[in-house]
Every structure is written in structure tokens, then in C-alpha cells.
Amino acid sequence: ASVRATVVDTRGRELGCGTHPLDVWQPQEHHAEQSSHQVWRACGAAARAAIAVAGPVVVKGICFAATSSLVVLDVAGNPVPVSQEEAIHGLDHDFDCDPAHVADHGLVRDTMMWMDHRATAVAKDID
């Protein structure tokens, strides 16, 4: 998994590309998790790499697109772990999900990827 960025001119010609890798955690079968904090940092890294290849440019617009994923945040906008592994280890939400703590100590897996199918049985029950 990675974030990709491309710089194009007003005629659609490619001037530069950049990529930055992403971690994917699959702690159990049918689970696929990421960190939105890591994704956001990777967006910046990929964009900087593309601009470095393109050379000096005047940026007139930026577009972000993503494959369907679910980012889980609390009402204050803080990341909420989707990982049962993180929940089992008793992370204190008020401490471990604080953005400053995340930046200094690690990544909260707050994103279910498109290929996460942990809710398949529940969906069948609802249907």
C-alpha cells in the first residue's frame, strides 16, 4: 500500500510523480487496518517528492482521492482504535489516542481498509 502524488500542468501533462509507502496491519483473518495519521503524513511526503521531480511550479489546485476506507474518530476528532489488539492491551483512550502522543509514540490503527471484512457475518444477519 502506498500514497501516490502527481504534478500535472494545465494541459494535463505529467511533470513529476512521488510515492510513499503505508503499513497495513492484518492482525486476524478478514481484518485490514491502517493509521490515518500515517496516511496523512504519507500524503505530504508523496506530494513533496512529486514537486521535487517537477521542479519549481505554481500550484493551482490539489486533489485527494482514496479507496474506500473507514476512519473512526471520536466527537473531538481524536483517532479511535479499530484494532481488537489495541483494545485488548487496554490502551487508555484519553492518553494513547491524543494526537501529540500518537506523533511521539506510535500510530493508532483507526482505519478499516476496503478489504476488511470482519463485519460480513453481522451484515448477513441484518440482511
18 confidence band (pLDDT: 50, 70, 90): very high
Judge contact between 118 and 25, C-beta under 8 A.
no
Confidence of residue 33 (pLDDT cuts 50, 70, 90): very high
Q: Which residues of 86-121 are buried (b: 16+ CB within 10 A; e: fewer)?
A: beeeeeeeeebbbeeebeeeebbbbbbbeebeeeee
Mean predicted confidence (pLDDT) in 74-99: 66
**What is the model's pTM?**
0.78
Split at pLDDT 50, 70, 90, the class of 95 is very low
Is residue 83 predicted with pLDDT exceeding 90? no
Question: Cβ distance 40 to 66 under 8 Å?
Answer: no
Output the pLDDT for position 44: 94
Share of the chain above pLDDT 90, in %: 57
Name the CA dihedral angle for 27, 29, 30, 32, rounded to a multiple of 10 degrees: 20
Residue the block writes with cell 482504535: 81
64 pLDDT band (50/70/90 cuts)? Answer: confident
User: What's the full length of the chain, in residues?
Assistant: 127
CA separation for the pair 11, 71 (Å, rounded): 34
Better-predicted residue by pLDDT, 3 or 61: 3
